Amino acid sequence: MVIISKEEAFYTRALFFLFGVGLMMIAPRTPDLKANLHVNNGTLGSLMSISAAGAFLALIYMGQIVHRFGARPVLIGAATWLYTFMAFQPHIHTIWIFAIDQICVGIGWAGFHITINSQGLHRQKASGVPILPRLHGTWSIGALLTAVVAIGITSHVTLATHIDIGVSIIWALTMYSIYRLRDVLVPGSKEHTEEDVRPSVRSIITFFKVDWMIVIAITSGVLLETSTNDWASLFTKEDIKASASISILSYVGFGLGMILGRLNIHKLYTRFTERQIIRTSSIFGGSLFIISVQIASHLAPSHPKIGLLFSVIAFFCGGVGSSSLAPGFTTIATRNSKFPTGFVVAQLTLVNTAIFFASRIAISWVAQATSITTALMIPGAVLLMTAIFAKLGSDTVLASR
């Protein structure tokens, strides 16, 4: 077994942390983005979802690129591409230009997401320690920090200034972290084995003909997280009638729930089986999210502070419930697959991205036709139903394997 040094652990966590800060920097300020573009909820949700088109194009080949050239050049290129196009977003006021920029953001996200998760899974396998949930927890800390910063500066700093300065700092720190990890990043491979399959739409669809359950399971477990990024702040501002800065608290609540779950999930794996954790997490998070959102929406007109409290509780419980599902199902998928880790992550992300695109569009227009409260019932119900996929996990406790 490989022993992961403190320096490697620190800078690997730094990559996930910085990715969380950078990628989610705009999420708490979606009301400002909506005002910039002069669009309704349905159009805004559709525009944010269109990044899936760029991600889909990148994911077809990204697993092979990481396997062929290694993690370092892909991380450098993907981070530079991602943060460049993110920096453009606050300056765009035309819908079609924003759509193109979103597609480019999707390409950068796909490259970075696949590579850091492949790196984490590679070192997890080498060390025998379940580090991926904690790395995802570090990502959530970054996403939470960016929301806390947004609370403090939204009323004083323009969206453009916030994003321009923020992504510049994140890019520089990311480059430094990559440099410090240069000796342990997954190297490229020129060898071609029968498992070194060139990714294509056909090969990926063929692979998932026998593994659609894991694809749907991951999608179900992550849909609430994606919906929170899109709608948490807008829900609290428009349905709960909170101010722009206070509306970010629901997003913060979700981030706290994710952090609490992901940084402690390794302790549960020594006491409970994967099946027990998946089932309990899904039922807890989904049911309390649905109930609390409904209470928040009904109480907000007459008791705004209590409505806000239940909104934060809803997203906090949803964060706790969904925190272990993405890393857990990803670990199950790579454990059961004969393909290289980077290729498996690309396959999972590719198919999930296509499903997310359709789901986010549907949620956007339900929000437009009814209310954000009603639209949020969709990811809440999906998280609740994720419990049926518990059978995909192991029925033995990690400590006894």
Q: What is the pLDDT of residues 230-244, one digit of tens each?
A: 888 888 988 998 887
Q: Select the more confidently predicted residue: 129 or 300.
A: 300
Distance CA 97, CA 87 (A): 14
List pLDDT tens digits, range 61-111: 776 787 788 889 999 999 999 999 999 999 999 999 999 999 999 899 988
- Range with the poorest average pLDDT among 173-182, 255-264, 273-282: 255-264
Distance CA 229, CA 243 (A): 18
Two structure tokens written together for 211: 């593994």
| Residue 146: pLDDT over 90 | no
Distance CA 149, CA 167 (A): 13
Two structure tokens written together for 394: 């192991």
- The alpha carbon of 250 is separated from its chain's Cα centroid by a whole number of angstroms, namely 17
Sequence-separated (6 or more) residues with CB below 8 Å from residue 32: 90, 154, 159, 244
Enumerate the β-bridge partners of residue 397.
Answer: 273
What mean pLDDT comes out for the span 381-386?
94
CA neighbours closer than 13 Å in the CB half-sphere of residue 250 = 38
| pLDDT band at 194; cut points 50, 70, 90 | very low
Average pLDDT in the chain: 84
What mean pLDDT comes out for the span 185-196?
62
Please state, for a pLDDT cut of 90, what percent of the chain lies above it: 36
List pLDDT tens digits, range 331-373: 888 787 776 666 677 777 777 777 777 888 888 889 889 999 9
Contact 290, 344 (CB under 8 A): no
Tokens 């953001």 belong to residue: 105
Helix ranges, 128-158 (H): 132-153
Two structure tokens written together for 366: 């339900």
For the beta carbon of residue 205, count every other beta carbon within 10 angstroms. 12
Ramachandran region of residue 225, left (φ > 0), alpha (ψ -120 to 50) or beta? Answer: alpha
What mean pLDDT comes out for the span 145-157?
81
Give the chain's length: 401
| pLDDT band at 210; cut points 50, 70, 90 | very low
| Residue 298: pLDDT over 90 | yes
Which sequence spans correspond to the domains of the chain?
6-185+197-400
Contact 306, 299 (CB under 8 A): yes
The pLDDT of residue 376 is 94
Distance CA 399, CA 313 (A): 33
| Residue 209: pLDDT over 60 | no
Two structure tokens written together for 204: 């990926």
Contact 186, 118 (CB under 8 A): yes
Q: Assign a CATH topology to domain 6-185+197-400.
A: Growth Hormone; Chain: A; (1.20.1250)
CA-based nearest residue to 221, from 133, 136, 326: 326
Contact 106, 85 (CB under 8 A): no
66-98 exposure pattern, b = at least 16 Cβ within 10 A, e = fewer: bbbbbbbebbbbbbebbbebbbbbbebeeeeeb
| Residue 198: pLDDT over 70 | no
| pLDDT band at 193; cut points 50, 70, 90 | very low
Q: Select the more confidently predicted residue: 9 or 351.
A: 9
What mean pLDDT comes out for the span 267-287?
89
H or E segment to which residue 229 belongs:
helix 212-234
